[in-house]
Amino acid sequence: MRTIKLTLAYDGTDFAGWQRQDGQSTVQGCLEKALQAMTGQAVSVRGAGRTDAGVHAEGQVASVEVASRIPTLGFLRGLNTHVPPEIAVLEVTDMPAGWNARHDARGKIYRYRIWNHPVRSPRLARQSWHVYDPLDTHGMREAAARLVGEHDFRGTYVADLASVVDLEAVRASGLRLGVDPLGGAAVAYWGLIGERYDLDLTVTNESVDPTFGFMTLDWDGKIRMDPSSPFAMARLVELRDRFDIALGNDADADRHGVVVPGDCS
């Protein structure tokens, strides 16, 4: 197999984000269809990061493994023929085996554009936020300066959690809690929450893998971060009798599933 690096630009206005989704047009989905059309091979494109719906990119990087011997210039020309006009493949480069756009990323730059004017800008409408009223630029610069440097946002989040959740009641209940973050952003948080609030909490899976190779397949044979699915939650279901309550959350920790002891048949 051969690893290639794709450098991309795209207008995300009409896409439902980067990550492939059933029934939705996404950047990853379009790239995978284009590559399959060129190579006849079903592939999985891995991005250095995922952009949300409506978010654009000027230098997104992705990696993919292919068996094809098509030269990089051929991929560059062919992919730009197959992808929609909202996507441009800027560069195609052969990389060493095992190179991964996400794991080997060294940094990311995010740019937020504001069009501050009483009248909208047709030229910038898809790339900016239109704010009608005058901005307090001095206050904005002052606030932004506080973000410079290294900050422990985990500690702040965990400390503030007690203001919205009665964690003392959870601790006093003595419940045995099991958590599977499903390889997502919450992996680094759950252990800290358990330690700070003295909870009987076990993180059952601390794996972080951009291919989600540790996941059990969903009902249709696909990998899906769906805590409401007993198939995606199968690993946690197997452990249900070890805990009073077991929790699973998707990669962004905005959806949660709950498993309790008993017959799950």
Alpha helices in the chain (DSSP H): 27-39, 72-82, 137-145, 153-161, 167-173, 187-196, 234-238
Asked if 11 and 85 count as a contact pair (C-beta separation under 8 A), the reply is no
The CA angle 87-92-95, to the nearest 5 degrees, is 135
State the burial class of residue 53 (Cβ atoms within 10 Å of its Cβ: 0-12, 13-18, 19+): middle
Asked if 258 and 242 count as a contact pair (C-beta separation under 8 A), the reply is no
239-265 burial: b if 16+ Cβ within 10 Å, else e = ebeebebbbbbbbebeeebebeeeeee
Q: For position 226, what pLDDT does the model report?
A: 72
pLDDT digits (tens, 9 = 90+) for 17-75: 998 888 899 999 999 999 999 999 999 999 998 888 999 999 999 999 999 999 999 99
- Measured between alpha carbons, how far is residue 181 from residues 216, 231, 249 in Å? 14, 15, 5
Helix (H) or strand (E) run with residue 130 in it: strand 129-131
Residue 110, both tokens? 């995010």
Cα separation of the two ends of the chain: 41
Q: For position 265, what pLDDT does the model report?
A: 47
pTM: 0.63
Token pair 């009902």 is found at 219
Q: For position 225, what pLDDT does the model report?
A: 67
Question: 128 CB contacts (<8 Å, ≥6 apart)?
Answer: 113, 114, 115, 121
Question: 215 CB contacts (<8 Å, ≥6 apart)?
Answer: 182, 183, 223, 225, 232
- Measured between alpha carbons, how far is residue 40 from residues 32, 35, 67, 144, 184 in Å? 11, 8, 10, 48, 31
Report the distance separating Cα 78 and Cα 72, nearest Å: 10
Asked if 53 and 11 count as a contact pair (C-beta separation under 8 A), the reply is no
The distance from CA 157 to its chain's CA centroid, rounded to whole angstroms, is 19
pLDDT digits (tens, 9 = 90+) for 211-257: 666 677 777 777 776 777 788 778 778 887 889 988 887 777 777 78
Q: For position 236, what pLDDT does the model report?
A: 78
Share of the chain above pLDDT 90, in %: 55
State the burial class of residue 8 (Cβ atoms within 10 Å of its Cβ: 0-12, 13-18, 19+): buried
Asked if 142 and 135 count as a contact pair (C-beta separation under 8 A), the reply is no
Residues serving a catalytic function are: 52
Please name each of the domains of the chain with its CATH number: 2-95 (3.30.70.580), 114-145 (no CATH), 153-259 (3.40.120.10)
Q: For the residues 163-176, what does the mean pLDDT come to?
A: 92
